[in-house]
Chain A
Amino acid sequence: MKSNNGSPVLIKKHHLEDWIGRIYTTFCVSLLVIIIVSMMYFVASKGLTTFIKDGVNVGDFLFGTKWDPNGDNPVFGALPFIAGSFATSLLAALIASPLSICAALFMNEIVPSWGKRLLQPVIELLAGIPSVVYGFVGLSVIVPLFRDIFPGQGIGIAAGALVLSVMILPTITSIASDALSSLPKGLKESSYALGATRWQTIYSVILPTVMPSLLTGVVLGMARAFGEALAVQMVIGNAPHVPRSLFESASTLTSVITLNMGNTVMGSVQNNALWSMALALMVMTFIFVIVVRLLERRHRL
């Protein structure tokens, strides 16, 4: 209302409107920024206490293989969890990516007429199934199945990765499908005009063009797998050791946080160590996002 004071000219209504609109949207964005900055500050300050106040060595934390917070001589080595997180999410991405990319190709290239109408709802439904239910199905179906087929008890990284791969299918598929459908029509048509078969077109024209977007999808899928907690925790076994095989009980960062956070007292060293793992998760999320950025930048060039 400042401009009303000095000026005798009535402020035009649409200027006021514009002003309100700008303030309102800026407010919303600032709020968004405030939320994430305060969350980052919060997790970082809690997570760093382990190293600053409790005197745990950062190197020991990141590369130590022994996790024994309740022993007479507490040791906080988080490598088993970090390794577990990477192994499950990489493996999950490995299983899910070919499936997802094929589904996206099916929707956009093979039968563009009805492929989307069939697969889109399927993908959205998969995204909508709660993770508790995924975990439960994993424990009731995948674990007994693996126990019968492979050595071991069925639980472990393999079971966790399989459950996760289904959970990240929607992420990768929808990004891949968006990329494919935004391709300029002329690209494909000129390839067909040269007499190329559909597969030749896909393989040598379409895939190279959308490759950065496909990788973006895969990385975002991995990020999702990295952060998933309840479903993985139910099927992975949770032993705080680097496993010797894919079918042996292992842990991830999220599973150890969910299992122990409620049982430990805020401010204790063990609790702080869990927060350090949350911080590690956050840093990983940043790395994933930055990787996506780099991929997109290469795409633009």
Chain B
Amino acid sequence: MKPRTADKIATGVIVTFSSVIVAVLLGLLGFILFRGLSHISWSFLTSVPQTIRAGGGIGPQLFNSLFLLVLTLIITIPLGLGAGIYMAEYAKPGKITGAIRLVVEVLSSFPSIVVGLFGLLLIVNTFGFGFSLFSGALVLTIFNLPLMVRVTEQAFRGVPKEQKEAGLALGLSKWKIIISILLPVAIPNLVTGTVLAAGRVFGEAAALLFTAGMSTPRLDFTNWNPLSPTSPINPFRPAETLAVHIWKINSEGLAPDAMAIAAGASAVLVILVLIFNLTARWLGRVLYQAFTASKVMK
């Protein structure tokens, strides 16, 4: 009877600990949403922040976060895909590949403030991009690249060997196999991984303080010329993202409702991450079904 009892106790402990994690998340979400939701309204989401008067919004910051995300993805995806494909398909096991993998791992656990200062000195000052969305996107790329490489490599390695061999038997070139056989099969995992990695872009603050900057110029949302300084889609203007804004009003906010704004903005940020995660799962599932179905038709 004794092993039985041990089994029951162990199961109990495991279930309890798992419930603790769920409870922690629910508690966190509850706390953030409870404090913030009452403050969220359409005008909060669209109006500009106020320095000392109450009633400021987070419109430009919200837009900046989303736009910065798009910019980062434009840079990260082609580079990350390329490097990931190299690691999965071209790299021969050996010292150099080992070294590259080491590099990728180190890069992914680098403190963000150090990356931010590196960005300030090199991208902002030396290359002269200034405090801008573009500088911010480059710095975020440094964070996201390792993730993207890992996701790509895993997705490609996950493709069944038989499919690749079939391609080789047909006499296709290696690149052709990668693009037309492996990539489509890897896409569901790629999309899920990319979207999850992208979620982190929303939360990053320390590195962006020094690169994308802490202020946003007045934006004219009717001006869509990407080279005009007041245009929202100009990548070379400074931009304060939502996470940076939360940090700023928490630390130096003068408005009487600073705390409420911080709470509201945190809630918006968490909701965005929530939407992102749900989209990632849904998209991954849909793509998976689409691709597996097409295989049957072949």
- A–B interface present (Cβ within 8 A): yes
> A63 on the interface (CB 8 Å rule)?
no
> B113 on the interface (CB 8 Å rule)?
yes
> B3 on the interface (CB 8 Å rule)?
yes
Assuming the contacts A27-B82, A130-B203, A289-B106, asked whether A281 and B114 have C-beta atoms less than 8 A apart, the reply is yes
Which residues on A sit within 8 Å (CB–CB) of B89? 25
Chain B, interface size category, equals: 35 or more
- A window 175-209: CB within 8 A of B: 196-200, 202-203
Q: Which of A10-18, A73-81, A146-154, A240-248 contacts B (4 or more CB under 8 A)?
A: A10-18
Question: How far apart sit A196 and B18, CA to CA, in the bound complex (Å)?
Answer: 23
Question: How far apart sit A292 and B108, CA to CA, in the bound complex (Å)?
Answer: 14
Assuming the contacts A25-B86, A33-B103, asked whether A288 and B11 have C-beta atoms less than 8 A apart, the reply is no
Q: How far is the CB of A216 from chain B (nearest CB, A)?
A: 11
Question: How far apart sit A100 and B274, CA to CA, in the bound complex (Å)?
Answer: 21
Assuming the contacts A98-B17, A132-B243, A289-B102, asked whether A22 and B90 have C-beta atoms less than 8 A apart, the reply is yes
Which residues on B sit within 8 Å (CB–CB) of A294? none
The answer to whether B206 and A102 have CB atoms under 8 Å apart is: no
- A window 40-87: CB within 8 A of B: 42-43
The answer to whether B100 and A42 have CB atoms under 8 Å apart is: no
- B window 9-29: CB within 8 A of A: 9-11, 13-18, 20-22, 24-25, 28-29
Main secondary structure of the interface of B (DSSP, over half): helix
Question: How far apart sit A224 and B146, CA to CA, in the bound complex (Å)?
Answer: 14
Binary contact track A23-44/B, C-beta < 8 Å → 1, others 0 = 0111111011101111100110
Assuming the contacts A130-B203, A133-B32, A203-B10, asked whether A229 and B21 have C-beta atoms less than 8 A apart, the reply is no
> B224 on the interface (CB 8 Å rule)?
no
Which residues on B sit within 8 Å (CB–CB) of A24? 82
The answer to whether A229 and B206 have CB atoms under 8 Å apart is: yes
> B173 on the interface (CB 8 Å rule)?
yes
Q: How far is the CB of A11 from chain B (nearest CB, A)?
A: 12
> A119 on the interface (CB 8 Å rule)?
yes
Q: How far is the CB of A49 from chain B (nearest CB, A)?
A: 14
Which residues on A sit within 8 Å (CB–CB) of B20? 99
Residue among A31, A125, A254 making CB contact with B274, cutoff 8 Å: A125
Question: How far apart sit A25 and B100, CA to CA, in the bound complex (Å)?
Answer: 13
Residue from A26, A132, A141, A281 having most chain B Cβ neighbours under 10 A: A132
Q: How far is the CB of A142 from chain B (nearest CB, A)?
A: 11
| Complex: chain A residue closest to B10, CB-CB | A199
Give the A interface residue count (CB, 8 A).
83
> B142 on the interface (CB 8 Å rule)?
yes
Binary contact track B109-126/A, C-beta < 8 Å → 1, others 0 = 111111101100110000
Residue from B89, B121, B266 having most chain A Cβ neighbours under 10 A: B266
The answer to whether A130 and B204 have CB atoms under 8 Å apart is: yes
Which residues on A sit within 8 Å (CB–CB) of B163? none
> A223 on the interface (CB 8 Å rule)?
yes
Question: How far apart sit A229 and B110, CA to CA, in the bound complex (Å)?
Answer: 11
Question: How far apart sit A116 and B90, CA to CA, in the bound complex (Å)?
Answer: 33
Which residues on A sit within 8 Å (CB–CB) of B172? 14
| Complex: chain A residue closest to B173, CB-CB | A14
Assuming the contacts A35-B145, A106-B18, A121-B281, asked whether A132 and B31 have C-beta atoms less than 8 A apart, the reply is no
- A window 123-147: CB within 8 A of B: 123-133, 136-137, 140-141
18 contacts between A and B (CB under 8 A): A17-B173, A32-B145, A35-B142, A42-B118, A98-B17, A99-B20, A102-B14, A102-B17, A106-B15, A119-B18, A121-B277, A129-B270, A131-B205, A198-B11, A226-B109, A229-B112, A278-B114, A293-B102
Beyond known contacts A32-B104, A202-B10: 15 more, CB 8 A cutoff: A18-B175, A22-B174, A22-B175, A25-B90, A28-B81, A36-B106, A37-B103, A39-B107, A99-B20, A124-B199, A129-B32, A130-B243, A203-B10, A227-B111, A293-B102
